[in-house]
Structure 1
Amino acid sequence: MGKITVRTEKKRFPIAPNLYGIFFEDINRAGDGGLYPELLRNRSFEDSIEPKDCRTGQDGYALVSRAGWRDEFNHGEGLSRWVRKNGTPYTPIPAWYTNHAQMALDRNDTLNPHRQVSLAVSFEEGGELYNTGFCGIAPKAGEKYLFYMFARTEAPVKIRVSVEEDGHEFGGMDFLLEGGGYVRYDGSFTAEGDGRNARLVIRCPEGGKVNFGFCSLMPEDTYMGHGLRRDLVEKLRDMNPRFLRFPGGCIVEGFSPETAMQFKNVVGPVWERPGHQLMWHYRSYNGLGFHEYLQLCEDLDMEPLYVCNCGMTCQGRSPEFFEGEELASMLQDTLDAIEYAVGDKTSRWGSLRAKMGHPEPFRLTYIEIGNENSGPAYEARYQMFYDAIRARYPHIRLIANTHLEEQGLGADIVDEHYYSTAEFFAENVNFYDKYDRKKPKIFLGELAVVRGWVGQLYGALGEAAFLVGMERNQDVVELASYAPLLENVDYNAWFPNLIRFNNRESIAIPTYYVWKMFGNNRGENVVEADVETGTLYRPVKGMASLMGQAGLRYRNASWNKTPVGISHELMGRVKEEEGVSRILPPDEEQRAEAETLHRVDKDRVFVVFGEEQVTSGVFDIEIYAEEGREICLGVYSGRMPKEVYMADETHPPKEWNAANVKPFLWTLEKGISTFREQKFPSDRNLDEERKAELRYGEFNHFRYEADGKQMKLYVNGECIHQVDVPSFPSLSSVVCDSPKEVILKIVNMSPEEDAVEISLDCEVEDAYEVILLTGEKQAENSFEEPEKVHDVVQNHSGASSHFYYGAPAYSVNVLRLAKIQVQ
């Protein structure tokens, strides 16, 4: 049974007003065809064109940057699994097909200097050109759709543009194309019936030749008439987000100089925005650009948080660093973006904003210099950008990617990112308790459970526990956002994502409701509260492993006194001679694999014993000790749960590899024994260092005993370490108040209901409100059951200065208690 003691008279600090926000990055086709509801895919006809500083390999299968980073390309269709899943027929120009017509890209006759090609089509009589959209177009009965295109003909040509599915026309428009140059043609129709897999058809009854420069089909009904998909923005609005981080994420950096994000390419008329290839496997047309982001912030009353490129491509994808004029140009691009947002309408970029329909300045509160950048190259560029922005715009709060204050550099806020398991987040509920209050504020810019209970209720509970700890430290943590935000389910590149959609409907994962509940129930001050609760242990599995320098020798390995052998050679090969096994260095195949994996030492051996599913037992082994040679033994050497993201889709990793096995590490070197956990960004000691004498020049006996809760480690019969398996509280809570009420947030990660004893130092009304999220541990939402897990508002009674509340098993609870006002 848990107990929460609340002292409202002891205010710790005011809440951070902008704590809960959102982060948008164009991933999973979240922009075009998603938040920006363009219905035509490849509307500029450029998807199959590789960036000029890249090349394609393997007959268009792979895209390779100048620096050597590889990605799947498939002639512009993106990931192979998208093509397979969606049953996409081959076409040389993605999403465009013909019947009784011939099409080709024309590089010599384009709509404007920003367009690389036009689409030249020669129609036979009755010939047609059609676009399949983003896995079909889904018109809704009675809704109006707006179409426009830029086209050029040498002679008049009649065409009919319609949206059709299985012979049914939902609506159409007739055009007579004429004029020697590109002309814009506009039309609209109201859908007659509902569709799901329709296509846009351009039919030419009499035949003719047309160059299409650009085209678009959009719903007329958008959020506040500002061009964004209504149901998605409404879900964002309901979270009550206080800021928006945009436009990325890794897309800000790009994977090559040409694909780096630049403000000047995402403003102005959409047909003049050049677009660019994203590292998330597709091309963006950038209809969702800087102006649209700022407008969304204004519509939802959010503070803009703009992430700028600081002269580097993505450091996780074979980086390149801008120098000289190229670097100066990137800095100027950032200053121009700020001027567009906040400059007077008579300024160069402010006047473009006015021309785009917003004469008054937008707000621009935060700027993040770079994304996930680090090291000396970043530090030099960060300082350059910091000095220039601070001198001209001192009101803007500047965000660093790493703790640059440790290098003597200025930063108002530092952005930290955490992707892990539900248990990691629950174990770190006290993560910021000891953070130095003199250091910069914290922005938790990206956090999510990406392994284990992914997209399920239990994953959301782990994240909720971490948010509870964050709220208890919001004098330090100023901003937080989940990542990623949106996912078109037909173009999934990363999972989970807060909101999922197809071309007709959208759903939210359980985590969405946690952020909604927490973001809408804030109070004014964080107050003192003590929590007493039980303990839950991290689930662990797997037998032992050995790692370290090649040449390590061992014998007589056993599990529960039964001999056990090597089951997985992750790095290095095992050779046995006369009862003694030696681990040879990694071979070329293993070294090549290591190059594709994250944080793997290709010179270090790593082998795993026995079965993976065991959770308790005794492991014995004799290891030959040599002076100067490290001995490293892994405890619980099971694989981490899978994650969807792959760093290199062209070389998928093996089921067992040196990056997805992270045992607890027992290391002996120079008479010192350490026992630690592998964590990002640095390992954590599970116990203090201890002396451990080895008999050099002979085999020594090593043993560990593990039961899922405790681990005991022995050398030659002596217990060196006795350590608990990492654990977390079954119940976590944070309490805020205002003059009129007390707000308790309670997360119960236990499989049992907890009758929580709540004691307050103030009187409250008998009736109170509970916002509840609960269900089965693995519960998740789907298009068939979109609200299997969602927040429910309940009215309860029985509150007082001392009462009991039954927190359901696996639940997030927000209690709103009305204070009794003393006259």
Structure 2
Amino acid sequence: MRRRSVAITDEGGDMTDLIQVRSVGEPYPISEKLWGVFFEDLNYAADGGLAGDLVQNGAFEYSHSDNPKWSPFTAWRKDVPDGSRGSFWIETDDCVAEENPHHAVVQVDCGAVSLVNRGFEGMRLRAGESYELSLWLWSCDDGPHDVTVSLVDETAPAGNHDGRPAGSSDSIIPSDKTFSEPFAESSGNVSATLRSGSSVRLVAEPSRWTKVEATLIAPFDTRNGSLSITFTGPSRTAVDFVSLEPARTWHGLKHFRVDLAKTIADLNPRFVRFPGGCLVHGLGLDNMYQWKGTIGPVEHRRHDFNLWGYHQSMRLGFYEYLCWCEALGAEPIPVLPAGVSCSGTDGGSMALSETQMRTYVQDVLDFVEFCNGDAETTVWGAKRAACGHPKPFGLRYLGLGNEDDITDDFAERFLTLFRALADKHPEITVIGTAGPTLVGATFDEAWDLARAARVRILDEHSYLAPAWWFQHLDYYDGLDRNGPHVYFGEYASHGTTMLNALSEAAFMAHLEANGDVVDMASYAPLLCRNGHAGWNPDLIYFDDDRTYRTYSYWTQHMFANTAATRARRVDVDGPRTYMRELPGWTGLAFGGDPAVRFENIRIELPDGRVLSADDVTKATGGTARTDLHVNADDYRIRLRARYLDESGMFSIEFGALDEPDRYRLWIGMAGLDCALGALRDGFPYDYDRVSMSRRVSYGDEWDIVIDVRDRGRSVRATVGDTVLAGTDPGAETRRTVTVADDSVRGVTYVRMVNALPDAMDVDLSEVLSAIGLGGQAVDAMMTVLRSDSADAGRPYEAAPSEPESSRIAVPASGVVRVPGWSFTILEIPCADGIRGGDAAAEE
């Protein structure tokens, strides 16, 4: 973020729009932990991301369960040079850890062969930097065997790939230079350590597994590095749990990638949510995130498939998460399953049995004890101390469930856990779940359950178009201040452009204004490894070389680094709204995963005309489009749909199909729901979401009617006996001004969003008067994030511009100019401290 100094003077005589703050209310306290981050292992956010390990699949546990094309040797290359002979296989007997039994066995008949790991698309190795090597070895025959481990530059000549890179040093770690690790669960758990160069010779001992550690120093700089493990023959050697991490750490925190940890820390998060997200409840009961399996020796943390389509090693488990929160100075917001799995699988969610629930309730209580229990007097407090942290972590919040359908199964299990925590740990505030959207039956039922049970905080999620955010800035204004508070746990505006960031800034400013009832908010997802996007957009993109901060990142950064303790209600006048012109025609098309037959397709117009289309069969995974093109503001679509697959959701697309403002009806979301919505600027905009009476299945048929009014500003749809409806209010509030302050620092923050192309003048004279600075020039700090266009910014890239800060002199008139396509924060030191509220009472 850049800083400069400028002066602002009165500017008159032009036609710049004037926005006036008419009245300023008294300050009221708001949450001081409003802005945080939400970490989920999605988009390779953990392994290959925030986790520092450069080796991919070092435990040989990858399988077709993670990816149909994967095997235990995925990410490994088997090198057998000319003149050598050897073979490689996987075994599970006589393993290091029963939880992760797969290990590689390498037999060398003559010469030397190598297992080579290139990490995630090539290891980023930096000249002169140290890397901590760890692996387990076992000589499977009678004698010890030498094993050479080397850092290799894959771009170097082929002659340097023999395990002895040019210019490397070589050291042997003898078997008498060993020591035991603090954990005794692993058989033969001994280890050795010795500083070396880019190559080290180790010894595989017979009759036992040996954990060996060494430090390697890269003599070269490369983006295409690898780790080579070379075996000489004749020999048979087993190897497992291979790891290579940079020795450099962020704040002494091991196992975290430094630049990503710093990029997140720069957001100054007040809390960190972990581990999800959908990852929490998993695909099926055996895939639910089990916290006990993520602490202690990494060898004994059971690997599992990741429901986002890859593998999770649990290298960053709950213990590392809690240490990370401590290093950040952030409140931990862990989330545990509520006793049911994800409802998005065929047949819906699965629930733990009564017997399983008794065990699981204790698991949840044990988690609190692990976090907060005394190291001397409690079982799980002692286990925490054994991990290396005798002092309690001071857990205060615990989420139960994520986007779960509010079925009887869910409600019963959630309440069982909720009551057990209230009984045993009343100091813990439980956070409930309100489903995946801000509309529909699940959302309403979640709020009913929370109110009835007196859940103190409910976790709401929303991914919507910028237009929706601009139209619903007052969304939380009417929330009952005596009911459950809100954790806005997942939100984004479906893109990485400046327009996306400005819509989020406007909504965040109003979240802050409702900070007396909105306790926390976190953008999601947080991280994405370029080339592995399972979800877009994301706050931070990265590759092995650098991080890429989006416009949304800079918006979060600006709020979090000017966090307030109080807010003020303000009334604002002036030209602030934008009304889009919607296209006046409709077509009709079909998309989604399953095969579907569409018949009796027609569009009825108010004047009695009926336009029809031929029957259409949409193939599995394909799309289909009719030749209909009808100019009309109001119309009715009729058709009959027959489901020809076992599972999956399909869509009916209507409106101006080739343009960014159009409409969509989804059927079979999560196997059960219908969702009606629009697209605005190409981004999804929810109208309604309703569950059908039963899950979709092969051969189901529905008569579907869609009534469209005012070019789609009002839409009503029926799918059989399921009814959905929604409206677009039209006007988007694209210019906003809000006021908050930090009563500790004595600073007032004026946050101004201008999501239109032309500059605006903002009259802040009433704000200055309210804080005791009226009628005089005022020194202030102005930070501006701006762009020349609304669509600047792309996924996988850094934002084209960053915030710039400058010292300014606000003139006595109180008028400041704010550029188009910008988010601006004005920091004003207050004369004699903050006026009103607590300060006034003290006077």
SS at match of 2:123: coil
Partner of 2:532: 491
Partner of 1:3: 19
1:766 pairs with one of 770, 773, 778: 778
- With 325-334 and 226-235 compared, the bigger mean Cα shift is at 325-334
Partner of 2:394: 363
Do the aligned residues in 1 keep the contact of 2:599 with 2:616 (CA within 8 Å)? Answer: no
Matched to 2:818, the amino acid is A
Partner of 1:292: 320
CA deviation map 1:542-580 (0-9, x unaligned): 733789x98686668999x9989689888999999xxxx
Matched, 1:813 2:824: yes
Partner of 1:140: 126
For 1:284 and 1:756, how far apart are their aligned partners in 2? 50
Matched, 1:394 2:439: no
For 2:386 and 2:818, how far apart are their aligned partners in 1? 55
1:162 pairs with one of 147, 150, 157: 150
Do the aligned residues in 1 keep the contact of 2:601 with 2:612 (CA within 8 Å)? Answer: no
- What 5-or-longer segments of structure 2 have no aligned partner? 1-16, 81-85, 169-197, 435-444, 590-597, 629-635, 692-706, 717-726, 834-842
Query: Structure 1 residues 558, 200: closer, same or farther in 2, change over 3 A?
Result: farther
Matched, 1:351 2:382: yes
Matched to 2:641, the amino acid is P
Q: How does 1:703-718 map to 2 (within 5 A)?
A: none
- With 108-117 and 504-513 compared, the bigger mean Cα shift is at 108-117
Matched, 1:612 2:657: yes
- With 424-433 and 114-123 compared, the bigger mean Cα shift is at 114-123
Q: Give 1:730 deviation, angstroms.
A: 2.0
Matched, 1:214 2:199: no
For 2:529 and 2:236, how far apart are their aligned partners in 1? 35
2:519 pairs with one of 470, 478, 483: 478
Query: Structure 1 residues 7, 396: closer, same or farther in 2, change over 3 A?
Result: farther
Partner of 1:695: none
CA deviation map 1:104-146 (0-9, x unaligned): 2202221122223111122342211111211111111111100
Matched to 2:649, the amino acid is L
Partner of 1:16: 31
Partner of 2:368: 338
For 1:352 and 1:32, how far apart are their aligned partners in 2? 25
Partner of 2:188: none
For 1:712 and 1:502, how far apart are their aligned partners in 2? 43
Matched to 1:780, the amino acid is G
SS at match of 1:544: strand
Do the aligned residues in 2 keep the contact of 1:455 with 1:511 (CA within 8 Å)? Answer: yes
Q: Give 1:182 deviation, angstroms.
A: 0.5
SS at match of 2:475: coil
Q: Give 1:324 deviation, angstroms.
A: 2.2
Q: How does 1:530-569 map to 2 (within 5 A)?
A: 530-532=571-573, 533-538=575-580, 540-541=582-583, 543-544=585-586
Partner of 2:687: 679
Q: Give 1:791 deviation, angstroms.
A: 1.5
1:592 pairs with one of 641, 645, 666: 645
Partner of 1:41: 56
Partner of 2:754: 748
- With 135-144 and 790-799 compared, the bigger mean Cα shift is at 790-799
Q: How does 1:278-317 map to 2 (within 5 A)?
A: 278-317=306-345
Q: Give 1:224 deviation, angstroms.
A: 1.7
Query: Structure 1 residues 202, 339: closer, same or farther in 2, change over 3 A?
Result: same
CA deviation map 1:744-778 (0-9, x unaligned): 01111111111122222231652211111111212
Partner of 2:98: 113
Do the aligned residues in 1 keep the contact of 2:60 with 2:104 (CA within 8 Å)? Answer: yes
Do the aligned residues in 2 keep the contact of 1:275 with 1:286 (CA within 8 Å)? Answer: yes
Do the aligned residues in 1 keep the contact of 2:587 with 2:627 (CA within 8 Å)? Answer: no
Query: Structure 1 residues 573, 809: closer, same or farther in 2, change over 3 A?
Result: closer
Query: Structure 1 residues 142, 393: closer, same or farther in 2, change over 3 A?
Result: same
Matched, 1:275 2:279: no
Q: Give 1:229 deviation, angstroms.
A: 1.4
Matched to 2:96, the amino acid is L
Matched to 1:748, the amino acid is N
Partner of 2:10: none
For 1:489 and 1:807, how far apart are their aligned partners in 2? 34
Query: Structure 1 residues 766, 13: closer, same or farther in 2, change over 3 A?
Result: closer
Query: Structure 1 residues 592, 525: closer, same or farther in 2, change over 3 A?
Result: same
Matched to 1:796, the amino acid is I
For 1:196 and 1:177, how far apart are their aligned partners in 2? 30
Q: Give 1:798 deviation, angstroms.
A: 2.7
Do the aligned residues in 2 keep the contact of 1:103 with 1:120 (CA within 8 Å)? Answer: yes
- With 281-290 and 489-498 compared, the bigger mean Cα shift is at 489-498
* TM-score between the two structures when normalised by the length of structure 2: 0.76
Do the aligned residues in 1 keep the contact of 2:56 with 2:120 (CA within 8 Å)? Answer: yes
CA deviation map 1:77-119 (0-9, x unaligned): xxxxxxxxxxxxxx76211121224222202221122223111
Partner of 2:790: 777
Matched, 1:179 2:223: no
Do the aligned residues in 1 keep the contact of 2:616 with 2:624 (CA within 8 Å)? Answer: no
1:225 pairs with one of 243, 247, 252: 252
Do the aligned residues in 1 keep the contact of 2:613 with 2:626 (CA within 8 Å)? Answer: no
Partner of 1:322: 352
SS at match of 2:89: strand
Partner of 1:205: 232
For 2:829 and 2:742, how far apart are their aligned partners in 1? 10
Identical-residue share of aligned pairs (%)? 26
1:731 pairs with one of 728, 735, 759: 735
* TM-score between the two structures when normalised by the length of structure 1: 0.78
Matched to 2:75, the amino acid is A
Q: How large is the Cα RMSD of the aligned pairs?
A: 3.7
For 1:281 and 1:724, how far apart are their aligned partners in 2? 35
Q: How does 1:228-243 map to 2 (within 5 A)?
A: 228-243=256-271
For 1:102 and 1:587, how far apart are their aligned partners in 2? 54
For 2:126 and 2:60, how far apart are their aligned partners in 1? 26
Q: Give 1:288 deviation, angstroms.
A: 0.2
How many aligned positions are there?
695
SS at match of 2:98: coil
- With 262-271 and 517-526 compared, the bigger mean Cα shift is at 517-526
CA deviation map 1:469-492 (0-9, x unaligned): 211111110010010111111322
Q: Give 1:49 deviation, angstroms.
A: 5.5
Query: Structure 1 residues 550, 269: closer, same or farther in 2, change over 3 A?
Result: same
